[in-house]
Amino acid sequence: MVRAMRRLAGISFGLWIAVGAVSAYGEEPARDCHLEPGRSTQQIEVMLGEVRRYYARVGPKAQPGAPVLVVFHAWGGREASLEVRLDPERYWPEAILIAPEGLPRMLPEAGPRRRPGWQFVQGEYGDRDVTFFDALLEDIEERFCIDPERVTLAGYSNGGSFAHLLGCLRADKVAGVAAIASAGPPLDQACTGAVPVMIQHGRDDKVVPLAAGLTSFARWAQNNSCEAPPDDLDRGCSEAVACAAPTRFCLHLFGHGWPLGTSERIVEFLRAQRRTAPLVPPPAPKP
């Protein structure tokens, strides 16, 4: 009997070693996480040997399980532009800011010039940027101690349109979107779930007209199953009524830009969001 007990104990010990010291409750040991505040440059292979780059800024108060803000620059911009405008040291010290680098693309209204930017619609440029986002998210989940339920997006102009698209296509990965001076998602694009969205637009925007921003808001209000539009869209920020996810529109009196208070408004909205099980949205409207 004693010999059998010893043999059983030896088997049990061997199994304990083999599974990496799983606890008595069947849980894997906690990951040894440490976040070092500061800036780093990372490169990841996306597909067929293509290497893409992003910058990471770990806020001074970030702890294991930190929220993430991924920011997308405008066409012709650089990743550092929004990194400065949404500097975590100043605006969200508990977060990790991720600033990816866009690849050259053309805009129809800008002629043959190719400048760094992002795809507008699914399938454009072979979905290179959506594929990059998927690889980026996998990389930061492995590299940093993040909360995968609090991955948020912000974008300006062309970058805002890409944030719209990702929110639509990756509702199961994105906790919230803030899109500035942009338009999207495409009206014929079927989204994968309800997503908290904040849209900010200028009344005098000559690059992306206000009508495009209002169309985006109506598109998200439908996707998020809102019962009614706000009572007043003429000033400040307004919320659509009884939505499956917060759906906000902020209007300012200026043009295509980033007016004072924009950074604070973005962070105030996104830091309150946490991803939940995606709600299946209504069908996309027919074009």
Structure tokens at 7: 């043999």
CA dihedral (228, 256, 76, 98) positive or negative: negative
Compute φ and ψ for 54, nearest 5 degrees.
Answer: -145, 155
* CATH class given for the domain over 37-270: alpha beta
Phi-psi region of 18 (alpha: psi -120 to 50; beta: other; left: phi over 0): alpha
The whole-angstrom separation of Cα 243 and Cα 248 is 10
> What DSSP string describes the chain?
-HHHHHHHHHHHHHHHHHTTS--TTSPPPPP------EEEEEEEE-STT-EEEEEEEE-TT--SSEEEEEEEPPTT--HHHHHHHT-HHHH-TTSEEEEEPPEEEE-GGGTT-EEEE--SSTTGGGGHHHHHHHHHHHHHHHHS-EEEEEEEEEEETHHHHHHHHHHHH-TTT-SEEEEES---S-TTPPPSS---EEEEEETT-SSS-HHHHHHHHHHHHHHTT-SB--S--SSEEEE-BS-SS-EEEEEESS-SS--TTHHHHHHHHHTT----SPPPPPPPPP-
Position 130 scores a pLDDT of 97
- CA 51 to chain centroid: 21
Position 279 scores a pLDDT of 56
What are the structural domain ranges in the chain?
1-30, 37-270
pLDDT digits over 152-169, tens only?
Answer: 999 999 999 999 999 999
pLDDT digits over 94-124, tens only?
Answer: 999 999 999 999 998 877 889 999 999 999 9
Ranges of the chain whose pLDDT falls below 50:
1-30
The whole-angstrom separation of Cα 236 and Cα 259 is 12
CB under 8 Å to 161, separation ≥6 — which residues?
118, 120, 155, 179, 182, 183, 184
Position 127 scores a pLDDT of 95
pLDDT digits over 67-91, tens only?
Answer: 999 999 999 998 888 989 999 999 9
